[in-house]
Amino acid sequence: MNIDLSGKTALVTGSTQGIGLAIAKGLVAAGARVVVNGRTQARVDEAVEALPGPALGVAADVATEDGTADLLATVPTVDILVNNLGIFEAVPPREITDEEWRRFFEVNVLSAVRLIRAYLPGMVESGWGRAIQIASDSALVTPAEMIHYGVSKTALLAVTRGFAKDAAGTGVTVNSVIAGPTHTAGVEDFVYQLVDRSLPWDQAQREFMRSHRPQSLLQRLIEPEEIANMVVYLASPLASATTGGALRVDGGYVDSIVP
């Protein structure tokens, strides 16, 4: 496919590493002007330097109202919004505090709601736009070791569907990408929370997939670039008839015959 995003501005939240950085690289390679976002200027600058083309870096904590306002002051409009920011951690269900529940909703759900609410009017006015949320297999298969994360990602699917209805008939599409277990630095730390820390990484990954994600048909962790490929497609004009969807890049982890 020839995906050309020349002339489009894309914001990717949480894009200093992992899936977010891979998405930023993919969008830049397709010709988009990408806004890299993270909480610290040093990490943002480092990510911008790693991209294969020109990009703008904005340090702002979009999990807060003030941080979101700072970002919007610098980047008032975008054509493509990728809500990638998210946190996760393993906590026994009965030990998750109210504070932790609120924190997960602030970061994983409300950060996306604020930015869609802010950028959607401009997209609708121009008659074209893309809002893409990075969800998780945990939205559909709630993990016992982190139900607060799973519930927040389930909510993100509903947010996506609702805003897709709000944008109906405008030329703006709103979709979620359901990412399966993906190989990032954060996931490496998570894997070692659940398996023997003395194991070499390759062996630890196999043990994690065997013991904790046996449903995976890939039987390996997904690479961030594989998630980015779907996002770049959804951000393009080629995906004009796909909206309100939850598209899986999960390695067959979710046992379902429908998207």
* C-alpha–C-alpha distance, residues 191 and 208, integer Å: 6
**Structure-block tokens of residue 253:** 């982890």
DSSP 3-state of 23:
helix
* C-alpha–C-alpha distance, residues 211 and 187, integer Å: 15
Q: 26, 51, 252: which is closest to 132 by C-alpha?
A: 26
From the number of C-beta atoms within 10 Å of its C-beta (0-12, 13-18, 19+), residue 170 rates as middle
Compute how many other C-beta atoms are within 10 angstroms of the C-beta atom of residue 203. 12
Compute how many other C-beta atoms are within 10 angstroms of the C-beta atom of residue 1. 7
Catalytic residue, candidates 149, 192, 233, 253: 149
Q: Is 149 a catalytic residue?
A: yes
Q: 89, 168, 184: which is closest to 123 by C-alpha?
A: 168
Q: What is the DSSP letter of 221?
A: P
Active-site residues, by number, are 149
